Amino acid sequence: MPTLPSLGELSLDTFLSDYWQKKPVVLRGVFPDWQCPLTPDELAGLAMEEEVESRLVLERDQGKPWQLKAGPFSDEDFDQLPENGWSLLVQAVDHWVPEATALLDQFRFIPNWRLDDLMVSYAPDGASVGPHFDFYDVFLVQGLGKRHWQLGPKCNAQSARVKDTPLNILADFKADAEYILEPGDVLYVPPQFAHWGVAQGDCMTYSVGFRAPSHAEILDDYVAELCSRLPEHLRYQDPATAPTQTPGLLGNDALSALQALLTEQINQPQQLAQWFGKYMTEPKYLPDQGTETAPDQEALSQAAAELQEHDGPLFQAPDARFAYFESQLFANGERYECDAETAALLANTRCISGWQAQVTQPGVAALLSQLVARDLLWFEDPTAPEGEDE
């Protein structure tokens, strides 16, 4: 499915120049023929699966406000819920529901390595997850029923929070604007803007979130990557040291030498691109993450045989994250070398046509076999409803 050509009456260029990471905006009728990808019962069914991340937000539980329970849940858990005052949230629904994957794909006018996942929430009439703010951008697609949204000012880490809750609930929320969203409408909220959505009737909202690692997370991971590559014999040196009368002083010469050392290690664009490609494509919601082993020769041979017989397009798996830089392809935290044209072809679209012409390039057949064997490329369309042919 192609990306959105516009956001309702707002062009993508206008949205990106006037609103993206600047101010919230309500986008009416973005999906005029909206059909909800799943029902509340189907969402509850996902929340009962061990491999699916899910949460229940309770507006009050055992006398405490805004409490959180983690899934997986059981029929008994749902039967014990009060009539109102709770919300169910399920992460990465795009991994499990083809129509949800197709919905997420429509927002790839933002680089797809920035896209995180599609979270779906259900709330009975009058329920919400409270006034809060996030540190990332989010498109809130109204899916079922209506939701009354109140938008507040920009917040920060010092904004007062409600105590005795694990949630990021604002203690002093003041609305600057109010809107009611209907199915097919979208609310865009930039990072740190306060918002509070209350269900009107049975309500489902589809939240398209974006990855926004903190500066601390970026530096922590990148410095760890740098350190893993540095040999032990590289040490701090000061061959031009002169006699000193102030042995306790940290001199400017030493600090300049240290800054030059750090700059030399960080100012390596190719190394930065290699790290960043792996970092931003690393999966977050896969079971047994980090335990994957390389496919064995039998799996690679089977994948190669299937590729030889397949004459249609290839498809990125729903949980696959692809990016590229020059002749480097990144997929789910791994880096693969290939020609630049192949890297762009595999990373830029979910439906990959014309891949057969690239197989003659050195190493491409082996690369495709790797990606198929790792279940990152599929022969069937993962966004097609069950039972449909590609």
Place of tokens 């990125």: 316
39-44: list long-range contacts, CB under 8 Å, 24+ apart.
40/122, 40/144, 40/202, 40/204, 42/97, 43/88, 43/90, 43/93, 43/120, 43/122, 43/204, 44/73, 44/78, 44/88, 44/122
Cα dihedral sign, 45-50-55-56:
positive
Q: Supply 51's token pair.
A: 């491999």
Distance (Å, whole) CA 27 – CA 140 = 10
Q: Which helix (H) or strand (E) holds 216?
A: helix 215-229
Average confidence (pLDDT) over 95-113: 93
For the cut 80, the answer to whether the pLDDT of residue 128 exceeds it is: yes
Q: What is the mean pLDDT of the chain?
A: 93
pLDDT-derived band at 3, boundaries 50, 70, 90: confident
Place of tokens 């979208």: 186
**Eight-class DSSP state of 157:** T
pLDDT-derived band at 388, boundaries 50, 70, 90: low
CATH T-level assignment (fold) for domain 6-210: Jelly Rolls (2.60.120)
CATH T-level assignment (fold) for domain 297-378: Malonyl-Coenzyme A Acyl Carrier Protein; domain 2 (3.40.366)
Q: What percent of the chain has pLDDT over 90?
A: 88
pLDDT at residue 109, as a whole number: 96
Per domain, the residue ranges of the chain are 6-210, 297-378
Average confidence (pLDDT) over 280-289: 74
234-237: list long-range contacts, CB under 8 Å, 24+ apart.
236/261
Q: What is the pTM of this model?
A: 0.92
pLDDT at residue 387, as a whole number: 53
The answer for residues whose C-beta is within 8 angstroms of residue 247's C-beta and 6 or more apart is none
Distance (Å, whole) CA 5 – CA 362 = 36
Average confidence (pLDDT) over 143-168: 95
pLDDT-derived band at 72, boundaries 50, 70, 90: very high
For the cut 90, the answer to whether the pLDDT of residue 24 exceeds it is: yes
> Mind spelling out the 3-state secondary structure of 253-278?
HHHHHHHHHHHHHHCCHHHHHHHHHH
pLDDT at residue 1, as a whole number: 55
Nearest to 185 by CA among 10, 31, 19, 6: 31
**Eight-class DSSP state of 109:** T
pLDDT at residue 2, as a whole number: 72
Average confidence (pLDDT) over 300-312: 94
- Do the domains spanning 6-210 and 297-378 agree at the CATH topology level? no
Distance (Å, whole) CA 294 – CA 292 = 7
Give pLDDT tens digits for 337-372: 999 999 999 999 999 999 999 988 889 999 999 999
Average confidence (pLDDT) over 163-180: 95
Distance (Å, whole) CA 70 – CA 238 = 54
For the cut 90, the answer to whether the pLDDT of residue 384 exceeds it is: no
Distance (Å, whole) CA 146 – CA 205 = 9
Task: Provide the pairing of β-strand 64-70 with 54-61.
Answer: antiparallel
